[in-house]
Amino acid sequence: MTDVARRLLAWYDRHRRDLPWRAGPGEPADPYRVWLSEIMLQQTTVAAVIPYFRHFTDTWPGVAALAAAPLDDVLAAWQGLGYYARARNLHRCAGVVATDHGGRFPDRESALRDLPGIGPYTAAAIAAIAFGRPATPVDGNVERVVARLFRVTEPLPGAKPAIAAAAATLTPNRRPGDFAQAMMDLGATVCTPRAPECPVCPLAEGCAARRAGDAAQWPARAPRKRRPTRFGVAFWLRDGEGRVLLRRRPDSGLLGGLMELPGTEWTETAWDDAAARAEAPLAARWEPLPGEVTHTFTHFHLRLRLMAAIGAGPSGTWEHPARFARLALPTVMKKAIRHALDHGR
């Protein structure tokens, strides 16, 4: 075991964060809880995940229960965590584990990677934390700690392979799961992005960035590309009973499987009213509503206008707005619905 691993594990034994998915010291971890938490934690904070994790494990205490749940229930419970493709993959993965693996997660990184929604990071995290394999999960926290320890000056994302290789040299054969969690905890609580607390860090002695006195500036990042803007028009169609037409998005792609108002494609140039009307679900007196809805996705900004009409006929889901709460609607559609209702539609 390296000096880094020894010191970090000793620190972890005293300072580990108490998190609902973590097993107690010396207790075996539950692979279901490890997997669920790792999927939820992708690009979301620990504080945001805790209530969702509790709700999921109360509702579906094991992988078989989650596999048997209707997808819409899972998507509805996921609302607010973002990235719905993850929720759909979560449900698919539970199904594969329940049917193809007899309800047990595989215990090796390579087999874990074959499961839906499990990439290299998550496979390594589950292998290490749930099964004690000497795998090295490298998330943003670990990346930062390792970049500073070794003072990797090449900017991200180009430096990722070098950082991953350096991180792997630290992983011990004994307690690799605790070591992985210790690295995550150190990054989250001591080696923080803007103000690393080097004086209290258990790794200060061997840390190259601390020695150079420039820890806070690593890892460096290549400049981000500007987010482009896309434009769309959504159609608010009410029938004589006040119900609104909704449709389900295709399962794959952005917001896959979620409900939405019918609309145009989201394009790089704005739609004029005539072009938008040609895309409407039926020929009617479509009135543009004033203003627009804006929403920022990971890769683009969206500016969405609404057009409203009264009519019936097109197939889809017809639902009264009072019952929208039980549907899996993405945030951008909730904003669009609010916009229509605010304009008296």
First to last CA, the chain: 66
Question: Residue 203, interface with ligand SF4 (CB under 6 A)?
Answer: yes
Cβ at position 197, least distance to ligand SF4 in Å? 6
Cβ at position 194, least distance to ligand SF4 in Å? 12
Per-position x/- string for 133-162, each x denoting binding to ligand SF4 as judged by CB under 6 A, each - no binding: ------------x--xx-------------
Catalytic: which of 38, 109, 143, 260?
A: 38
Residue in 39, 167, 190, 289 binding ligand SF4, rule: CB under 6 A: 190
Q: Which residue from 192, 197, 200, 222 is spatially nearest to 45, judged by alpha carbons?
A: 192
Active site residue 268: no
In terms of CB distance, is 194 or 224 closer to ligand SF4?
194
Residue in 65, 77, 204, 270 binding ligand SF4, rule: CB under 6 A: 204
Cβ at position 178, least distance to ligand SF4 in Å? 18
Handedness of CA 30, 62, 187, 157 (dihedral sign): positive
Which of these segments, 61-69, 162-170, 188-196, 318-326, binds ligand SF4 (CB under 6 A)? 188-196
Residue in 215, 246, 304, 327 binding ligand SF4, rule: CB under 6 A: 215
In terms of CB distance, is 190 or 340 closer to ligand SF4?
190
Residues designated as active site = 38
- Which residues make up the interface to ligand SF4 (CB under 6 A)? 145, 148-149, 190-191, 196-198, 201, 203-204, 207, 209-210, 215
